[in-house]
Structure 1
Amino acid sequence: MESRPLRHFVAVAEELNFTRAAERLGISSPPLSRTIRGLETELGVALFERSTHHVALTPAGAVLLAEARGALDALDAAGRRARRAAEPGLVLAVKPDGDAGLLETVLEKYATEPEAVPVTVRLCGWGDHARLLRTGEADAALIADPFDRAGLDTEPVSAEPRVAVLPAAHPLAARDQIALADLELPGVEPSRPDGLRRFLDGVVRRHGVRDLPHLLKLVELGEVVTLLPGSVAARYPRPGVAYRPVPDAPPAVLVIAWPRRSRSMAVAALVRVAASIAG
């Protein structure tokens, strides 16, 4: 199966309209229709239910759409990785303020390694690291755990206690430390770091959080109560924000991640250095 018919199929499946799909692909409708018919013949199944005014995916078409997207993404990523391999250096994805204050240490130690190459740090948004690794736009990433590890390998870099981040006038701010249950964060439990991740993802989506200073301003204004790594308290003191220990909260774990199929000695050296910090 070739990639061109798959790309044409995905366009029709997403538009559910042959005319719009043809415009999106920059071709006319008749050759697009012939390509889809040829793909159906090759597979021996109908991919679309067609009528004069209606186009819908068949069950077989729905399955192929999910598989085709993954296959085309992998193909595009392979091309990017091949181009990246021909370029000097590697790209390390990091969220601003998401390195537990360790980025400079990692880069300084890595520069002393025999396999070291120049490193470009790519600053990325919340949750972008894994996507950049899978698409071949980054060679490694420092990521807060947990996250979707599909297709990736990881090594721990650091683990630190979390702190509650509250408005200074919040009633709980008067305590020396806080129990996780007292924060009443939806879905967050001591044994469920994935629940904390979903909670934080929800805060980012609802409030359009761009970076850590933006999040802290929301806390200061009384719009958000959250949990963050303890190192944030030392690096971002604010008069309107109170940081309090939460002993039973899941720890903040930072890992270094890289594509499972990577064979780069330079990336291996970077991982080795980052893991040595954990040791």
Structure 2
Amino acid sequence: METRELRYFVAVAEELHFGRAAQRLGMAQPPLSRAIQQLERRLGATLLDRTSRTVALTEAGSVLLTEGRAALDAVDAAERRTRRAALSPTGSPGLVLVTKANASSELLAELLAAYAAAPAAVPVDVILCGPGEQARLLREGRADVALLHRPFDSVAGFHTEELRTEGQVVILPAGHPLTARTDVRMAEISTLPGLPLPRWPAPDGSYPPGPGPQVRDHAQLLQLVALGRACAVSPESCRAQLHGDLAAVPVVDAPQVTTVIAWPPHSRSRAVADLVRTATQLQ
């Protein structure tokens, strides 16, 4: 299969409409239809069930959509990494690590220090992003490795190694009555008067409905908590970032958070392997 054919098929499979797919691809509909038919003949499989009104994926088409997306991501990532290497004075782009801003800060500092001391270490650039953006940057080839946090971040399609598991705490304004407690439960947090949980943006930029304030990053969230406008449930390691106007109380029934280091399965970088090995050796 050619990359061009995969892009054509993925567009049709996502739109489930040849006209919209052709418009998205910037081409006429007849050659797009012929290209899909040629692909089906070559594979010996029907990828799309077509009627005069609808287009639907067959089981084989669903498989190719999943595999095609992964293949196209790998091609795009290879192009971006090649361009990075070409722009580097040494011909080596180093490594790009992406992580959510204000997450796993101590672990990240330990990892960077330990890796920098390794004999074959290369420069590491760190991208701090918003919630849920790490996986996209990794798939697009804009990053080589990522720190992800289960169960909040999807690790589907990546190779991973677990680094650390921890409980969660609720962050409250200092002096709030609950800060005198040794622990709380999620049911108590969800009904706190005047301190709603925040609303984070979805991948398309929209916010879910609810009474909580819309937030874009962790720093903004902590400021809202300090002002008495919200509360937040975060991994226990966030305690190190709290100032005197904030307090944290363990949440006994919140799911545990596991920090993993993730990288694309098609990566053959020795530097990535060395960084992952360093991460797994941290105590």
- TM above 0.5, yes or no, is yes
Go from structure 1 to structure 2 and tell me whether the alpha carbon gap of 1:171 and 1:24 turns closer, same or farther (over 3 Å shift).
same
**Correspondent of 2:143 among 126, 138, 143:** 138
The one-letter code sitting in structure 2 at the alignment partner of 1:217 is: Q
Q: Give the unaligned 5+ runs of structure 1.
A: 187-199
Q: Is 1:233 matched up with 2:239?
A: yes
Native 8 Å contact 2:13 2:57 kept in 1: no
State which of 206, 214, 217 in structure 2 corresponds to 1:211: 217
Indicate whether 1:9 and 2:9 are aligned. Answer: yes
Between the two proteins, what is the percent identity of the paired residues? 48
- The alignment's TM-score, normalised by the length of structure 1, stands at 0.75
Return the offset for 1:35: 1.6
Q: 1:192-207 residue pairs with structure 2 within 5 A? A: 203-205=199-201, 206=208, 207=213
More helix by share: 1
* Number of corresponding residues: 260
CA distance in 2, matches of 1:251, 1:55: 44
- Once the 2 structures are TM-superposed, how far is the Cα of residue 13 of structure 1 from its aligned partner? 3.4
> Using the alignment, how far apart are the partners of 1:22 and 1:33 within structure 2?
9
Change (3 A) 1:61 1:208: farther
**Once the two structures are superposed, what CA deviation does each residue of 1:229-268 show, in whole Å capped at 9, x if it has no partner?**
33423322152x4322345655544332223443322222
1:179 counterpart = 2:184? yes
Change (3 A) 1:59 1:158: closer
Q: Which residue of 2 aligns with 1:197?
A: none
Q: 2:269 — aligned with what?
A: 264
- Per the normalisation by structure 2, the TM-score is 0.74
Residue 112 of structure 1 pairs with residue 101 of structure 2: no
* Residue pairs, 1:21-60, within 5 angstroms: 21-42=21-42, 43-45=44-46, 47-51=48-52, 54-60=53-59
Cα contact 2:199–2:215 (8 A) shared by 1 = yes
Which residue of 2 is the match for residue 155 of structure 1?
A: 161
Pairwise CA distance, 1:167? 3.8
Shift of residue 124 of structure 1? Answer: 1.9
* 2:37 counterpart letter in structure 1: R
Change (3 A) 1:153 1:48: closer
Quote the offset at 1:138 in angstroms. 1.4
Deviation at 1:162, TM superposition (A): 3.0
CA distance in 1, matches of 2:7, 2:58: 19
SS for the counterpart of 2:281 is helix
Give 1:93 shift.
0.8
2:96 maps to amino acid: V
How far apart in 1 are the matches of 2:49 and 2:255? Answer: 47
Distance 1:211 1:23 in 2: 35
1:273 maps to 2:282: no
For 2:97 and 2:21, how far apart are their aligned partners in 1?
36
RMSD: 3.3
Question: Any gaps of 5 or more consecutive residues in structure 2?
Answer: 86-90, 192-196, 202-207
